Amino acid sequence: MTLKIKNLSKTYPNGVKALDNLTLEIKQGMFGLLGPNGAGKSSLMRTLATLQNPDEGSVFFEDIDVIKNPMDLRKVLGYLPQEFGVYPKMSAVDLLDYLATLKGIASKKERNALINQVLEITNLYDVRKKSVDGYSGGMKQRFGIAQLLLNNPKLIIVDEPTAGLDPAERNRFLNVLREIASSNIIIFSTHIVDDIKDLCNDMAIMNGGKILKKIKPSEATKEIEYKIWTSTVERENLEEMEQRFVVLSSKYNQDNSINIRVYANEQPTSNFVTVQPGLEDVYFIALKDNIEN
Amino acid sequence: MVFTILKFELKYWLRNWSFCAYLATFFLMALLSMAGASGTFGEGSASATNIANSPMSIYNFVNFFNKILLFLLPAIVGHTIYKDYKNNFNSILYTYPFSKTNYLFAKFISAFIIVSIIAFL
């Protein structure tokens, strides 16, 4: 099972180039799409979910031409948009029943079984009779997962689902995602590096409508091992450091000094010590390279 | 697919209080204007030469109500689709396996039925 994206381009009427000749191949499993705000993640996801057409390029899921036959894809697609709402005053069960009928499940018995199943998976069974517009942010996101599971999708697209969730809810949500990942492709976009580290077996870093780097999270940090250095500097020296070295990130300490992480092949100065690289470093290196080029 | 959306929309409208409000308003308006014309509240416009339920005056009433009904059409037909956008539900709905034609057709027909119910009552 593969999703093949080839030379995808999209320019919005206001001149923003959201997708820039993007080529990507996604295989079975969890795929993380990492990028800053405005990188084109949502544009890519909306295109894959048949909500908008690209100017150029092609998308194939197995042998379905997504651009030409969106209806065929929709039958095997589960999509959770970045923001969504529901009709007011409708309980989860009623809404899911309607949505399941729309997804083409005609028999009432089959629908009920399916709805109970997805409510169990998403831990919403106890609140199934409450109206969905009164749910908390995390519960609503889980409801979003429940609705996308209704047609046993082969391609699942979730667009920044963890934005705005508290840590406990975020964990619960990621566990639900982990549970449903089996024999399908799940594309998961986020700007939170930890989400990907915990979850995905393949990832890509995206900015400016392009894929900057496609790599497995487990291998990503090996490449830059012994190349990440850290040191504590005073606030006044930060600018000088940024000019002299590739500073990936800087964090304030409580006493107003700054911890910086630097990417270099050799020890920059004797003050620096080497540290274990994280996925965040990989992300910042990719973004830095992109800006310099 | 058309039928599913149609059924859902009809159910939504029949449970909605604004439908009852429209229905009551129009019913009362019709009732009162006819009662007024036939002289329930003192002297009506009816007389020996001007009969309240004559074909001509009924024609005039129908004509008048047709004009007011024009306000209902956009309110109900428009809202049927607008509520998907207002509640931000469209982003989910539009990735479902049904076509634009089916969607619009079902939405329009359901709204049309609702308006017809109000009009005929």
CA-to-CA separations, B39 to A266, B43, B46, in angstroms, rounded: 102, 5, 7
Residue A113: per-residue pLDDT: 92
Residue B83, pLDDT > 80, answer: yes
Given a contact cutoff of 8 angstroms between Cβ atoms, the answer to whether B110 and B13 are in contact is yes
Inter-chain contact A86–B93, Cβ cutoff 8 Å? no
Inform me whether the pLDDT recorded for B48 exceeds 70. no
Select from A125, A128, A177 the least CA-distant residue to A156. Answer: A177
Secondary structure (3-state) at A80: strand
Structural tokens at position B47: 């007389």
pLDDT at B44 over 70: no
For chain B, the C-alpha Rg in angstroms (whole number) is 19
Q: Backbone dihedral region of A257: left (phi > 0), alpha (psi from -120 to 50 degrees) or beta?
A: beta
Residue B88 touches partner A, C-beta closer than 8 Å: yes
User: What gap in Å lies between CA A272 and CA A248, rounded to an integer?
Assistant: 14
CA–CA gap between residue B108 and residue B80 (Å, rounded): 8
Distances (CA, A) of A147 to A71, A185, A276, B66, B94: 18, 17, 40, 43, 13
The 3 state secondary structure assigned to A229-257 is EEEEECHHHHHHHHHHCEEEEEEECCCCC
B46 pLDDT above the threshold of 70: no
Residue B8, chain A, CB below 8 Å: the answer is: yes
What is the structure's pLDDT at A273?
85
Residue B5 to chain A, least CA–CA distance (Å)? 8
* A252/B contact by beta carbon, under 8 A: no
Q: Which residues pair with B49 in a beta bridge?
A: none
A50 in contact with B, Cβ within 8 Å: yes
**Which residues of chain A are within 8 Å of residue B16 when distances are taken between CB atoms?**
none
Using left for φ > 0, alpha for ψ between -120 and 50, and beta otherwise, residue A240 falls in alpha
Closest CB to B92 among A81, A101, A133? A81
A:B CB pairs within 8 Å:
53
Tens digits of pLDDT across chain A (293 residues): 889 999 999 999 998 889 988 999 998 889 999 888 888 888 999 999 988 899 999 999 988 898 888 888 998 999 998 888 888 888 999 999 999 998 888 889 999 999 999 998 888 999 989 998 888 888 898 899 899 889 889 999 998 888 888 888 888 888 888 888 878 899 988 888 888 887 888 899 998 888 888 888 888 888 888 888 888 888 888 888 888 888 888 888 888 888 888 888 888 888 888 888 888 888 888 888 887 77
* Residue labelled with tokens 């809810």: A169
Kindly state whether A107 is in contact with chain B, defined as any CB-CB distance less than 8 angstroms.
Answer: no
Q: Distance between CA A183 and CA B70 in Å, rounded?
A: 54
Contact list in B for residue A85 (CB cut-off 8 A) is 87-89
Q: Do A147 and B92 touch (CB under 8 A)?
A: yes
Alpha-carbon separation of residue A24 from A16, A204, A206, A213, A225 (angstroms): 21, 9, 11, 10, 26
Phi, psi at A84, each rounded to 5°: -150, 160
Task: List the beta strands (DSSP E) in A48-123.
Answer: 56-61, 64-65, 77-80
Residue showing tokens 């469209």? B90
Of A193, A222, A196, A215, the closest CA to residue A280 belongs to A193
B8, B88, B91, B100: best mutation site toward chain A, by most A Cβ within 10 Å?
B91
Contacts with B, A 121-180, CB within 8 Å: 133, 144, 147, 151
Q: What is the pLDDT of residue A193?
A: 85
Residue B49 predicted with pLDDT over 80: no
ipTM of the complex: 0.78
The residue ranking higher by pLDDT, A264 or B49, is A264
Average pLDDT on B22-35 reads: 88
Look at B5 and A102 and tell me if their CB atoms are within 8 Å: yes
Does residue B50 register a pLDDT over 80?
Answer: no
Would you tell me how many other CB atoms lie within 10 Å of the CB of residue B120? 6
Residue A263 exposure: Cα atoms within 13 Å on the Cβ side:
19
Minimal Cβ distance to A74: which of B8, B88, B97: B97
